[in-house]
Amino acid sequence: MTKKALVVDDSPTMCNMVSLALKEVGFEPATAGDGAIAVDMAEKEKYDLIVTDINMPNMDGIELIRYLREEGGYATTPILVLTTEAGDNAKAMGKKVGASGWMVKPFKPEILKAAAAKLCP
Protein backbone atom coordinates (compact mmCIF):
# COMPACT_ATOMS: atom_id res chain seq x y z
CA MET A 1 0.00 0.00 0.00
CA THR A 2 1.36 3.38 -0.97
CA LYS A 3 1.98 5.79 1.86
CA LYS A 4 0.80 9.36 1.33
CA ALA A 5 2.80 12.42 2.31
CA LEU A 6 1.79 16.06 2.42
CA VAL A 7 4.61 18.52 1.76
CA VAL A 8 3.84 22.09 2.87
CA ASP A 9 6.17 24.92 1.79
CA ASP A 10 5.69 28.26 0.05
CA SER A 11 8.70 27.47 -2.19
CA PRO A 12 7.70 25.33 -5.19
CA THR A 13 11.37 24.32 -5.58
CA MET A 14 11.50 23.04 -1.99
CA CYS A 15 8.20 21.17 -2.47
CA ASN A 16 9.67 19.47 -5.55
CA MET A 17 12.94 18.55 -3.82
CA VAL A 18 11.16 17.09 -0.79
CA SER A 19 8.62 15.27 -3.00
CA LEU A 20 11.40 13.64 -5.06
CA ALA A 21 13.17 12.43 -1.91
CA LEU A 22 9.93 11.01 -0.47
CA LYS A 23 9.04 9.25 -3.74
CA GLU A 24 12.35 7.41 -3.51
CA VAL A 25 11.27 5.81 -0.21
CA GLY A 26 7.79 4.83 -1.38
CA PHE A 27 5.62 7.86 -0.64
CA GLU A 28 3.04 9.42 -2.91
CA PRO A 29 3.54 13.13 -2.17
CA ALA A 30 1.03 15.96 -2.50
CA THR A 31 2.05 19.59 -2.04
CA ALA A 32 0.52 22.72 -0.51
CA GLY A 33 1.87 26.28 -0.71
CA ASP A 34 0.87 27.26 2.84
CA GLY A 35 -0.78 25.98 5.99
CA ALA A 36 -4.29 27.07 5.03
CA ILE A 37 -4.16 25.05 1.80
CA ALA A 38 -2.68 22.13 3.75
CA VAL A 39 -5.61 22.17 6.20
CA ASP A 40 -8.09 21.93 3.30
CA MET A 41 -6.13 19.05 1.79
CA ALA A 42 -5.74 17.22 5.13
CA GLU A 43 -9.49 17.40 5.70
CA LYS A 44 -10.18 15.72 2.33
CA GLU A 45 -7.41 13.12 2.33
CA LYS A 46 -5.60 11.14 5.05
CA TYR A 47 -1.81 11.44 4.97
CA ASP A 48 0.71 9.10 6.60
CA LEU A 49 3.42 11.78 6.91
CA ILE A 50 3.43 15.58 6.86
CA VAL A 51 6.53 17.66 6.15
CA THR A 52 6.07 21.38 6.76
CA ASP A 53 8.00 24.63 6.65
CA ILE A 54 7.51 27.15 9.47
CA ASN A 55 7.61 30.55 7.73
CA MET A 56 4.72 30.69 5.24
CA PRO A 57 1.94 33.14 4.34
CA ASN A 58 -1.68 32.74 5.57
CA MET A 59 -0.95 30.03 8.16
CA ASP A 60 2.55 29.22 9.37
CA GLY A 61 3.87 25.76 10.24
CA ILE A 62 3.41 26.12 14.00
CA GLU A 63 -0.27 27.03 13.55
CA LEU A 64 -0.65 24.19 11.05
CA ILE A 65 0.82 21.59 13.41
CA ARG A 66 -1.29 22.85 16.32
CA TYR A 67 -4.45 22.63 14.20
CA LEU A 68 -3.66 19.17 12.81
CA ARG A 69 -2.83 17.77 16.27
CA GLU A 70 -5.78 19.32 18.13
CA GLU A 71 -8.59 19.50 15.59
CA GLY A 72 -7.54 17.95 12.31
CA GLY A 73 -7.49 14.28 13.25
CA TYR A 74 -3.69 13.94 13.04
CA ALA A 75 -2.95 13.34 16.72
CA THR A 76 -0.43 10.56 16.04
CA THR A 77 0.64 11.17 12.42
CA PRO A 78 4.37 11.97 12.10
CA ILE A 79 4.92 15.67 11.31
CA LEU A 80 8.43 16.73 10.30
CA VAL A 81 9.43 20.38 10.29
CA LEU A 82 11.81 21.40 7.50
CA THR A 83 12.79 25.04 7.91
CA THR A 84 15.53 27.66 7.93
CA GLU A 85 14.70 28.25 11.61
CA ALA A 86 17.51 26.76 13.69
CA GLY A 87 16.94 28.60 16.98
CA ASP A 88 16.04 26.90 20.23
CA ASN A 89 12.87 29.01 20.65
CA ALA A 90 11.47 27.89 17.30
CA LYS A 91 12.35 24.25 18.03
CA ALA A 92 10.72 24.51 21.47
CA MET A 93 7.53 25.88 19.88
CA GLY A 94 7.55 23.06 17.34
CA LYS A 95 7.98 20.46 20.06
CA LYS A 96 5.27 22.09 22.18
CA VAL A 97 2.67 21.88 19.39
CA GLY A 98 3.62 18.32 18.50
CA ALA A 99 6.30 18.23 15.79
CA SER A 100 7.80 14.74 15.48
CA GLY A 101 11.14 15.99 14.19
CA TRP A 102 13.03 19.10 13.09
CA MET A 103 15.35 19.50 10.09
CA VAL A 104 17.12 22.67 9.05
CA LYS A 105 17.41 23.79 5.42
CA PRO A 106 19.34 23.20 3.31
CA PHE A 107 18.46 19.58 3.96
CA LYS A 108 20.20 16.41 2.89
CA PRO A 109 17.76 14.14 1.02
CA GLU A 110 19.35 11.05 2.63
CA ILE A 111 18.53 12.35 6.12
CA LEU A 112 14.95 13.19 5.13
CA LYS A 113 14.50 9.76 3.54
CA ALA A 114 15.88 8.01 6.64
CA ALA A 115 13.60 10.04 8.93
CA ALA A 116 10.53 9.34 6.76
CA ALA A 117 11.32 5.62 6.63
CA LYS A 118 11.84 5.49 10.40
CA LEU A 119 8.64 7.43 11.21
CA CYS A 120 6.50 5.51 8.69
CA PRO A 121 7.87 1.96 8.50
CA-to-CA distance for 56 and 26, rounded, in angstroms?
A: 27
Predicted confidence pLDDT, tens digits, the chain (121 residues): 789 999 999 999 999 999 999 999 999 999 999 999 999 999 999 999 999 999 999 999 999 999 999 999 999 999 999 999 889 999 999 999 999 999 999 999 999 999 999 999 8
Contacting residues for 117 by C-beta, under 8 A, at least 6 apart: 25
Q: Is 79 exposed, middle or buried (0-12, 13-18, 19+ CB in 10 A)?
A: buried
pTM for this entry = 0.96
The count of structural domains within the chain is 1
Structural domain span for residue 86: 3-119
Confidence (pLDDT) at 121? 86
Dihedral of CA atoms 57, 60, 61, 65 in degrees, nearest 10, equals: -130
For residue 87, the domain's CATH number is 3.40.50.2300
- 3-state SS string over the chain? CCEEEEEECCCHHHHHHHHHHHHHCCEEEEEECCHHHHHHHHHHCCCCEEEECCCCCCCCHHHHHHHHHHCCCCCCCCEEEEECCCCHHHHHHHHHHCCCEEEECCCCHHHHHHHHHHHCC
